[in-house]
Amino acid sequence: MVMEAATRWVRVVRGAENGLQGIDSIGWLVGLPHSTPIVLSVLRCLHGSASQADLVAEAEELRVLLPRGLKVLGAVDFGEGEGGALRAGRVAVKLREELQVAGGGKGCIVAAPLGTSSGSKLEYRWYDAGNELSLVALDVEEIEGSPWDETTFLRCQLQLSMPLYLQQTATASEYQEQAVGVINKIVEDLKSSEACFLAEGPKGTILLPVERSANADSESPLCSSLRSVQTLSTPGGYQIPTPVKLSAMSCSSKEKNTSFIMQNLPARTPVAVQILKLNVDVLCAAPNHMSGVDAVTYLVIPALCDQLNSMTKMAKKNASQNPKISAFHFCPLRHPITAIYDLSYGETEMALVNSRKSLHQRLRLPLDRPLLRVANALMAKESTSTSTGSRRLCDVHVGLPPSGVVGGTQSLIDGSYEYYHYLQDRFDDNGWGCAYRSLQTIISWFRLQHYTSVPVPSHREIQETLVEIGDKEASFIDSQEWIGSMDLCYVIDKLLGVSCKVLDVRSGADLPGKCRELALHFRTQGTPIMIGGGVLAYTLLGIDYNEMTGESAFLILDPHYTGGEDLKSIWSGGWCGWKRAVGANGKEFFLANRFYNLLMPQRPNTV
């Protein structure tokens, strides 16, 4: 980006400056390098202060984190003193040079908090590296709508499965050497004249060769002609253009006369084959006026190479196992970011938790909720459909009539869930599967709140889990045996890594006396509760409780329903509704001669 002397404007997306109090030293201004630059976010520098930042490490991480086409436009310094803007300018110019931003050494945008407060407003200026004492004030235009009107997103995925032939005593450096060799070959193929990309545009598939012909500019379509009119909703509530899918191909049609010679070269020591699996996935933000060929040449291919190099370094750290390295796109801010995870040990493994925590800190995200797990990824496949193709009902309690408790306070589930009940998925569990269905509903809550990407388990998978952990014998699999609250506790811990509290109630008549404890659970945890007692299991979604009179009602989701996905039938039949411990007709819903165990899953306080 080159800022001309006559330009005095910078556009800032609404919300880009939120939460600046969390940045203690320096932040990077990230955005689109249009003729009038657009600031999309402020990212924290994680490697040092403005005066001692490790810009090599910063550039290495930002190069993979940010989609190609987004740039570090400058910096903001929150240090004390009037020299903050100058410090920000000096360090931002060096970072832009490290990132090889066009014109990066000439100058950049700098920002500083207005007045003495590091609040949510910044004052923007232009820093001229040739005359650093001259800071030109910039007029700011706040953007409330979409900043993507002039941008086309391009997405390219490569699923690579590469065999590495290693001696059993191979060291990490030997592993890396062979992995680097394989990946370098892939990079060479991507850059070769025989490579091409197929773009799935709104008007059909278009061939984009890497090798440019003399009249390539006139032949290649502009990115604007590839752009879809549809938008993609992000988990953060933002809208981005639906990415154009690119497929890497080889367009070679030349016949080569090659003689193959086979040689048998016995290895001196036993050799093991280790498969290196890389799921490469890059996202690029191309200006609409850029040609498709240029977008592939200067954005997509460099992004693929950067991601492959980063994955190679990650594979070296886990050389003793079979790395399963994948890239995922997220959009917790006003623009997408890309994170690379090694899922060899599962996404709850501490190494990934620490990696996500670091990303939360850089992106200025809260540290008590999952925003960058696999389940949060953009364009992730949702599996909310049944095997018959019909969709399950979600949040069936929403819109129910009042409970009838006079002066009561409602404490309800926090978030969405799917209603699992008897006879779904063409599976007959009538009479024995109520606890299984309650467990499925609970796990669907954790999925829909993005705490996990683990699929909701089937009855057989639940049984297999209980056998695997030693809770049941092998004969339990494919049986119709009931399970209880403790069995659910074991499965939730095994599959999700989530702990549960168990509340024991000796009699159904004692349940109203637990309303304060239940209300606290829904206010602080917000998870659905499984109620097990005798031969029945229910899911508790909330309570309505008057502390002065003791009057109470329980919001029950009943898994014993055997009908279709019809909300009217579910409500009219009382399969989801408010229940009193003892109804107006004197009939007990919670039996006085039965004990009850309430399984209370705890919301994870982690990223």
**So which residues are the catalytic ones?**
434, 558, 560
**Amino acid identity at 82:** E
Q: Which stretches of 474-591 are assigned E, i.e. beta strand?
A: 500-505, 529-533, 536-545, 552-557, 576-579
Report the C-alpha gap between 606 and 420 in whole angstroms.
27
Strand partners, 107: 128
Q: Hey, what's the torsion of the CAs at 459, 464, 469, 470, to 10 degrees?
A: 100
Q: Are 151 and 285 in contact (CB under 8 A)?
A: yes
- Three-class secondary structure of residue 54 per DSSP: coil
Among 143, 183, 116, which residue's Cα sits nearest to residue 15?
143
Q: How far apart are CA 309 and CA 175, in angstroms?
A: 14
Residue 374 CB: number of other CB atoms within 10 A?
20
> At what angle are helices 350-363 and 55-65 packed, to 10 degrees?
100
As given in the structure block, the two tokens for residue 193 are 């004249």
Structure-block tokens of residue 297 = 């040449």
The 8-class DSSP code of residue 298 comes to I
* Helix, strand and coil in the chain, % to nearest 5: 30, 30, 45
Rounded Cα–Cα distance for residues 238 and 376 (Å): 13
Task: Quote the tokens at residue 539.
Answer: 């899911």
Structure tokens at 292: 């498709």
Pairing of strands 26-32, 38-44: antiparallel
